Structure 1
Amino acid sequence: MKLQAPYAWLTNALLFQVGWFICVLTGSLPALISTLIILFIHFKWIGSWQVERDIILTTWLLGSALDSFLVQLNIIQLPTHSLLIPLWLSCLWALFATLLNHCLSWLQSKRLLSMLLAPPIAALSYFAGSKLTSVTIDTIGLITIGICWAVLFPLLLSFAQLFARQHLVNTP
């Protein structure tokens, strides 16, 4: 049984927020388990794997690559030196992708607004995450993250819209 709006949107946002806290506060193994559970619930009550798999995989890959690049540039400072971000941080990207065709779908046709909203919201999220973990991000880092999100967020919204349309066209 799929939830109807506004319950689907609210549930989508709450699932993401619960997942965010679990990932940030508990570490990689609990993050992976909770992400898989949240994705299962998301596909059972809200979304569809067939429709959303491409945007989830694309967002997960692009977001993880971006954060790994920011780690290499020392913009995001982890307690241990690594080429890749920790699994808990990567899981956040898969969870974020679930929002793009649901509670954030209203921004798909508002690219300029999404470019303006993304920097302060992303910077705030990264700042909060850094205060709850051993990750360090300075002010210049937060500004850099905001700039990256001003580009990435509208791009991801466009991909989400495109992948959903392609699914509709290819569905008999």
Structure 2
Amino acid sequence: MKLNAPSALIANALLFEVGWFICVLAGSLPALISTLVILVIHFKWIGNWRTERDIILITWLLGSALDSFLVQMNIIQLPTPSLLIPLWLSCLWILFATLLNHCLKWLQSRPLLSMALAPPFAALSYFAGSQLTLVTIDTTGLVTIGICWAVLFPLLLSFAELFSKKSALTKS
């Protein structure tokens, strides 16, 4: 049973926030389990696997690659050196992808606004995460993250819109 539109948007935002806190505070195994549970709930009550699987995969790959690059460039400093980001951080990208066709859908047709909003909100999220973990990000790193998000966020929104339209066309 799918939730009605307003309830679905609220549930979408709440599921992401719960998942964000679990991923950041609990570590990789709880992050993986909670991400899987949240995906099941998301697809049962809010989204559609067929419509969203591609954007989830692309967001996960691009986001994890970006964060891994930022780790390699020492912009994001992990407590233990690694080539790739930890699983809990990678799970955040999967959870974020669930927002693109729901809570954040209104930004799909507003690329300049999404480009403007991404830097401060991304930097704030990364800063908050770093304050709750052993991850270190300095001010220059937060600015760099904001710039990366100014490019990535509108791109992901356009992919989400494209995949939604493609899915709608294949249904008819």
TM-score range for the pair, normalised by the shorter chain length: over 0.9
In structure 2, the residue corresponding to 1:6 is in which secondary structure? helix
Q: Percent sequence identity over matched residues?
A: 80
- Structure 1: any 5+ residue segments left out of the alignment? none
Whole-angstrom CA distance in 1 between matches of 2:67 and 2:144: 11
Counterpart in 1 of 2:94?
94
**How much does 1:162 deviate?**
0.3
Q: Which residue of 2 is the match for residue 171 of structure 1?
A: 171
Deviation at 1:171, TM superposition (A): 1.6
What is the identity, as a one-letter code, of the residue corresponding to 1:97? Answer: A
Q: CA deviation at 1:93?
A: 0.1
Q: Residue 157 of structure 1: CA displacement?
A: 0.1
Aligned residue number for residue 130 of structure 1: 130
Stretches of 4+ aligned residues off by more than 4 angstroms: none
Q: How many residues align?
A: 172
Question: Any idea what SS the aligned residue of 1:2 has?
Answer: coil
Distance in 1 between the 2:108 and 2:144 partners?
A: 23
Q: After superposition, where does 1:1-172 map in structure 2 within 5 Å?
A: 1-172=1-172
Q: CA deviation at 1:2?
A: 0.3
TM-score by length of 1: 0.99
**Counterpart-to-counterpart distance in 1, 2:109 and 2:60:** 22
- C-alpha separation in 2, matches of 1:162 and 1:131: 36
RMSD (Å) for aligned C-alpha atoms:
0.5
Unaligned runs of 5+ residues in structure 2 are none
Shift of 1:12: 0.1
Query: What's the offset of the Cα at 1:167?
Result: 0.6
How far off is 1:51 after superposition? 0.4
- TM-score normalized with structure 2 length: 0.99
Q: Output one character per residue of 1:100-127: Cα deviation in whole Å (capped at 9) or x when no partner.
A: 0001000000100000000000000000
Question: Distance between the aligned counterparts of 2:164 and 2:73, measured in 1?
Answer: 34
Q: Distance in 2 between matches of 1:5 and 1:110?
A: 21
Tell me, in whole angstroms, the C-alpha distance in 2 between the residues paired with 1:6 and 1:167.
22
Shift of 1:5: 1.4
1:170 deviates by: 1.3
Q: What SS does the aligned partner of 1:78 have?
A: coil
C-alpha displacement of 1:151:
0.2
Output the CA distance in 2 between the equivalents of 1:111 and 1:65.
Answer: 22
Distance of 1:85 and 1:61 partners within structure 2: 12
Tell me, in whole angstroms, the C-alpha distance in 2 between the residues paired with 1:17 and 1:78: 22
| 1:109-157 Cα deviation digits (max 9, x unpaired) | 0100000000000000000000000000000000000000000000000
